[in-house]
Amino acid sequence: MNPQDEYGISGIALYVPPYRVKLDDWCAWTGNDWDKTRAVVGASFRLRGPHDSVYTLAAEAALKLILDHAVDPRRIGLLILATESSTDNAVGAVIVRGLLDQALAAHGLPPLARDCEVPEYKQACLAGLYGIKGAVRYLAHDGAERQALVICADIAEYQRGSTGEPTQGAGAVALLMERAPKLLALDLARGGSASSYRIADFRKPFLRYAGQTPGTHGRLTDFPVFNGKYSTACYLDEVICAFDALFARHPGRRVEYLRQLAAAFMHRPYHHMPIAAWGMVYLFALAADGGAAHEELGAYAAAAKIALPELLAEMRRRPDLARAVVRGRSAPEEAYPLAAVALKAFRRTPKYAEFVEDKLRLGATPMMHLGNLYSAALPAWLAAGLEEAAAQDLPLAGRELLLVGYGSGDAAEAIPARVVPGWKAAAVRIGFARSLEGAVDLNRAQYELLHEGRTPPDLPEPRTAGFVIEQVGQAQSGRFQDYGIEYYRYRAGAAPHAAPRTAAAASLVS
């Protein structure tokens, strides 16, 4: 295909707040098993600071992208904010636009174009991939000569003592998208989509806020209502349905398509979840392919002491997971119980390491240090993987990757992406590893206060530059109202972990 007829990603930038909770420390505080936590969840997570909001996180990532990639702000015709952590129910991306314009002026750069569109996307953790698709569609039509900026930003918080607590996280990923991309070309026409309403797997109803007293800078706790094992069942089922839609557009054997992929990147609520999902996708591909593939699947079924006809019958069904919730106010813990047992047998074989672990290897280790970033989790993993591939000088040009997203509530996407020639030049500028530097490890008291929305008296402030909430409006008079509206300030200076300013960026100064 002519590169001028392709659309996709030309640059990626990551921002995470400096405050870190190491999960080995957390296990010591809470009595949880560190070996199990490390294997299933990860190594650490980030927590937002007292002056942070989802908008400051988003603006930090976007500013880093603009400066590091010498983006002319006047060319950006679409700015998408993908998040489930908005604190304003009327606007979202335009707040980030305001923060960016303030920072760009401080750097002597022009503001974003006045005709820039500023939508917000929301569908739980899938919002980021929906935003990426929206940007491709914009570029393919009225925005063909412009650039799009997609910012995936979220703050994942859970109640202390809940099963979700070790999977918390905060951060943002900004993606520069354009025609003739410099990193990845996306092929929406060959992708697969799925959606189905599951009621109670993971939700954030406004009623949770009732009776709350705002903490630092008007902050309210944003702990979700969730049912962990049911959410896992919904994730697996919806991803399998998205792959059904994907394979409907790919003639031939499913297993062969999966095997030819250079790598896969998935939504990552915790370390083990995408591994289990990818293994299940492989088993379902074997079931669909038939013939010799059934022999392989039959070996796993025999090892698990399952009759193959019963396993195949289960795999042909698509369960109504919401029915049990509606009827009995309870949530099923498995979508495919026989397949789950067969997956355990598959894990004990050499082929599991060859197919599952190898396809998900790129970027997996650094992602152990982020926690769940909701909408930013998948693009963050993509950033980590591409940076790692460039560092290892892997020959990825022309190879196909697969982006698999999921959002509770629930919906899933599977989108093929081709690595374009010359991709390494853009990959080495991602700065994923650099973005993790300068972490401030919290002690137990600091973590608990910050988690409650209060500011620990001994909390360090490592940043000398960046965006902060300066105050929150209180006015409610008839003449003027700004109650609850956040006022932001950009502190100019040497931004931490930013790449040196390029000559091209300097040339944009008005």
CATH number for position 456: 3.40.47.10
**Distance, CA of 346 to CA of 334 (rounded, Å):** 18
Q: Say if residue 70 is exposed, middle or buried (CB neighbours under 10 Å; 0-12, 13-18, 19+).
A: middle
Does 148 reside within a domain?
Answer: yes
Does 199 reside within a domain?
Answer: no
**Distance, CA of 345 to CA of 189 (rounded, Å):** 35
Query: What is the extent of the structural domain holding 51?
Result: 3-188+423-506
Mean pLDDT (whole number) for 465-494: 91
Does 358 reside within a domain?
Answer: no
Mean pLDDT (whole number) for 198-220: 85
**Distance, CA of 138 to CA of 120 (rounded, Å):** 14
Does 204 reside within a domain?
Answer: no
- Give per-residue pLDDT as tens, 416-475: 999 999 999 999 999 999 999 999 999 999 999 999 988 999 999 888 889 999 999 999
Q: Around 173, how many Cα atoms within 13 Å sit in the side-chain half-sphere?
A: 31
- Give per-residue pLDDT as tens, 258-272: 999 999 999 999 999
**Distance, CA of 387 to CA of 362 (rounded, Å):** 9
Mean pLDDT (whole number) for 56-72: 97
Does 20 reside within a domain?
Answer: yes
| pTM score above 0.85 | yes
Does 242 reside within a domain?
Answer: no
- Give per-residue pLDDT as tens, 353-397: 989 989 999 999 999 999 999 999 999 999 999 999 999 999 999
Averaged pLDDT score across all residues of the chain = 93
Give the lowest-confidence range in 66-70, 410-414, 499-503: 499-503
Q: Is the pLDDT of residue 215 over 80?
A: no
Q: Decide: helix, strand or coil at residue 149.
A: strand
Q: Is the pLDDT of residue 501 over 70?
A: no
Let me know: does 358 contact 275? Beta carbons within 8 Å. Answer: no
Q: Around 321, how many Cα atoms within 13 Å sit in the side-chain half-sphere?
A: 29
| pLDDT at res. 212 | 84
**Distance, CA of 10 to CA of 181 (rounded, Å):** 5
Does 403 reside within a domain?
Answer: no
Q: Is the pLDDT of residue 315 over 50?
A: yes
Determine what percent of the chain is predicted with pLDDT higher than 90: 86
Q: For 344-352, which contacts have Cβ atoms below 8 Å and span 24 or more sequence positions?
A: 344/304, 345/300, 345/301, 345/303, 345/304, 346/279, 346/282, 346/283, 346/300, 347/279, 348/303, 349/300, 351/296, 352/279
Q: Is the pLDDT of residue 490 over 60?
A: yes
Q: Is the pLDDT of residue 498 over 60?
A: no
**Distance, CA of 139 to CA of 146 (rounded, Å):** 7
Q: Around 358, how many Cα atoms within 13 Å sit in the side-chain half-sphere?
A: 11
| pLDDT at res. 475 | 93
DSSP 283: H
Domain count, the chain: 1
Does 469 reside within a domain?
Answer: yes
Per-residue pLDDT band at 497 (split at 50, 70, 90): very low
**Distance, CA of 37 to CA of 44 (rounded, Å):** 10
